[in-house]
Amino acid sequence: MSIFNYIVKDTDINNRIDRLLTDLNPNHSRSKIQQWITKGLVTVNGQKIKANYRCEKDDEINWSIPEPNEFKIEPENIPLEIVYEDNDLLVVNKPKGMVVHPSADHQSSTLVNALLYYSKELSTIGGKERPGIVHRIDKDTGGLLIVAKNDHIHIALTKQLQARKIERIYEAIVQGVIEHEKGLIDAPIGRDPKNRLRMAVVDDGKPSITHFHVLKRFKEYSHVICQLETGRTHQIRVHMDYIGHPLVGDPKYTGNGWLNTDGQVLFAKKLGFNHPSKNEWMEFEVDLPNYFKDLLLKIDTE
């Protein structure tokens, strides 16, 4: 069991203890933290408290995180859209709403569960929880991903990612009308100091570069293409919000707003890379999903 300590700061005063601990423990859900509190694993100034306790200045919070229970990742017969496959790798079109790999809080129905059923050959670089996974996209972002079948290919593709040689192009619908045709956002991204569940543009963040250009303007929205030069967590979502044009429906950064989109309107549409074994450039592109097309039609008639 791991033990942690935190002294309440001015910015934390009157914050609920369960909310503050959720910010301080971004890998754990609020419901999980409420369970810790119920079990007496959280104390304030040496006393057990309830989840709705309001923090006061200089409160000393101590909490213990139980060791995670080991869980077995089972193959599941979940349909996959395989865009390309050979002896070394797969290119998969992940649907919106599917988590890429299992975690203690989400152990089934992930892309990894589906991959384990589909193929006996997956790289082991990512460990037992991420077999074959070279790069990820968010649960509510659909689109193209590369899956490695062996470690040699995985390492080679990872080096391409690090060297910014893999082409990743997304389409998105953002709030507001972007006046200029194209732009480059060069702003470092790191953990949001005010909310540990979010990422933000921060001075000490990692270098992050996004290119974008406008495909079409609507009355209150813009349809854009975004190309990643780097690949930080939530990069497009953070960068577009940073320039005042957050993604439509993004629950973490802007709220769902008026359009019921069930998550951010973002799709990984095009993927290009040099195949490590064939030593040739390969490009893949898929059609926009129906929900995305329907939303474009909807905002075009408003």
Query: Active-site residue among 138, 140, 192, 241?
Result: 138
Decide: helix, strand or coil at residue 253: coil
149: left (phi over 0), alpha (psi -120 to 50) or beta: alpha
138 is catalytic: yes
- According to DSSP, the β-strands at 42-44 and 60-65 are antiparallel
Number of residues that this document lists for the chain: 302
The span from the CA of 210 to the CA of 231, in Å, is: 9
Q: Which two tokens stand for residue 104?
A: 């203690």
- Contact assessment for residue 63 and residue 41, using Cβ atoms and an 8 Å cutoff: yes
- List the one residue out of 84, 230, 85, 90 whose CA is nearest residue 146: 90
Instruction: Say which DSSP state 233 is in.
Output: T
Active site members = 138
